Each structure stands twice: as structure tokens, then as C-alpha cells.
Amino acid sequence: MNKFLLFVGLMFAISASYATVQGKEVTYSANGTNLKGYIAYDDAIKGKRPGILVVHEWWGHNEYARKRARMLAERGYTALAVDMYGDGKQAHHPDDAGKFASEVAKNTELAKARFDSAYRLISKEKTVDSNRIAAIGYCFGGSVVLHMARIGEPLKAVMSFHGGLGTETPAEAGKVKARIASFTGEDDPMIPATQVAAFRQEMEKAGVTYKAVTYPGVQHSFTNPDADKYGQEFKLPMAYNAAADKASWDEGMAFLADAFHGGDLPKQK
């Protein structure tokens, strides 16, 4: 065989075995509203794997949510960055973000319908084990995934990063199916110590397997590098914290591995 062709064939085989994370935009719907999501997975991993729903901050489905989906794909999961606002709508000012978030938060049936639609979508992905689905959320999204766990959605695990912990529908014994983890900053005025204490009490009363981690000196939105920009531009009490970002992510990945694999990481390529 021609040596050049042999070399090209070898390089192709090597590149295929080290394929990068794949990302694809998807459109799905709930009650007549188009929802625009993003699915990330590693096509070099064979077989089915757990699926993770990623719920965005109050800014809407943006690049940050997609980044987290790709990070999960790198860890061996298939992840869907969902759209809770509809039509991929994004906010660029806190007034709009608050309006969009409130419209969903005040309509629990709407929120559940959109979450369930995303759940069905990821469950049908050919790379996903439909019996192993989890959800993570940031800020607004953290509150959303906690609500879904509280009302008994069939999730193996739920993680909230700087999401509000208060609720009008507290967890009930025997109803929650998911393990739950919350990661918040001690200097976050939106999630005071009293709210964290009430959350712990709620989880324990309901018999939920949970963890509630707080980071000293850390403010709201600490996982998002854009938090500093938002905080300065709009005078909001938020700031990125690289150490807390890494610590919460590492703890979160260990939490997922334990929920899905008894502590073992998903099979890597």
C-alpha cells in the first residue's frame, strides 16, 4: 500500500478514536411553545450513559448553560441544556431576567410541562440510559430543579448551584425520588443562612438523601465568570469565585458518580 495512504488512514483512525465532544441544537415543544435546547455528548464513548438536564440562570438559555453541558459530556454523560423561557429567549438586563423568571416561577404547571418535555427528549436520545436521568441548575435553574425534585420527578439526582432554597411546596416523606445537593455562598444575600438552615431541616424531615454545602466569603452566581461583569454593570450582589466554582463542580461530579455508579465514574473513552 502507498505509504502516504497508509499514513492518512492511520491518522484518520487515531483522530476518530479521540473524537471531541459533539454538540447539536434541538427544538422541542411544550403546550404549543417552541423550546430551543442544546445536546452535548462524546461520540467516542460506546453504549448508553446517564443523561443530565442543565437548567439555565435567569438570563436564559445562553452559552454558559451550553458550556456546562459540554463539561458534563467530557465527564462521560449526555447533557441537554434546556430552554425554560421558550424560543431560546434571553435577557440582557436584570429587569427582563426577573420578568422572564417570574413568569415561569409563578406558573408551576407551565414550568413542569417545559421541564417534562426536556426530560422526554433526553430520555429518547440513543446515547442515554432513560432509567438514569439527573438535573442540575444555576441560580433560577437551581430553584427549578429543586422544585422538580420536591414534587417527585423521576430523577436520580438533582444539584442546585447558587439557586434559591425557599419553597411553597416543601419536600414530603416518600415523595422525593432524587438525591439532592445544594451549593451556595455564605455571603449571598439572596440565600441567607436562615434559608439554608430551613432547607436542611426540610430535607431531614422528609428523609431525603442530601447535602447542603456553603462556601465562606462567596457571593451569588459564584460559578459564572461573567458574574463580575454583571455585578459591576448592574450593581448586583454577585461575583465569580474560581475556588468555589472548582470545589462545587468537583463535589458535584462526585455526587453524580455516587448517585449513578456507587462512586465509580462513568466509563471513559
Residue 13: which residues within 8 A CB-CB, separation 6 or more? none
Residue 15, in any domain of the structure:
no
- Split into its structural domains, the chain has a count of 1
Residue 109 falls inside a structural domain: yes
What pLDDT shows up at residue 20? 85
90 found inside a domain = yes
Intervals of the chain under pLDDT 70:
1-19, 263-269
Whether residue 3 is contained in a domain is answered as: no
The domain that holds 138 is classified in CATH as: 3.40.50.1820
Residue 51 lies in a domain: yes
What phi, psi does 113 have (nearest 5°)?
A: -60, -40
CB 56 within 8 A of CB 138: yes
Grid cell listed for 27: 427544538
* Domain encompassing residue 120: 25-261
Q: How many CB atoms lie within 10 A of CB 241?
A: 20
- Cα 92 → chain centroid: 21
- pLDDT at position 70 is 98
Q: Give the E-state strand segments of 71-209 in sequence order.
A: 78-81, 128-138, 157-161, 179-185
Coil, strand, or helix at residue 185? strand
Instruction: Tell me, yes or no, whether 145 lies in a domain.
Output: yes
Sign of CA dihedral 56, 62, 67, 70: positive
The side-by-side arrangement of strands in the sheet containing 210-215 is 21-30, 33-42, 78-81, 49-55, 128-138, 157-161, 179-185, 210-215
State the SS3 of 202-254.
HHHHHCCCEEEEEECCCCECCCCCCHHHHHHHHCCCECCCHHHHHHHHHHHHH
Which of 35, 34, 28, 84 has its CA nearest to residue 56?
84
Taking a C-beta distance cutoff of 8 angstroms, is the pair 74, 42 a contact? yes
Provide φ and ψ at 170, rounded to 5°.
Answer: -60, 155
DSSP 8-state assignment for residue 45: S
Residue type, 263: G
CA angle 127, 37, 110 (to 5 degrees): 115
- For residue 30, the SS3 value is strand
Does residue 19 belong to any structural domain of this protein? no
C-alpha cell at 165: 432554597
The answer to whether residue 180 is domain-embedded is: yes
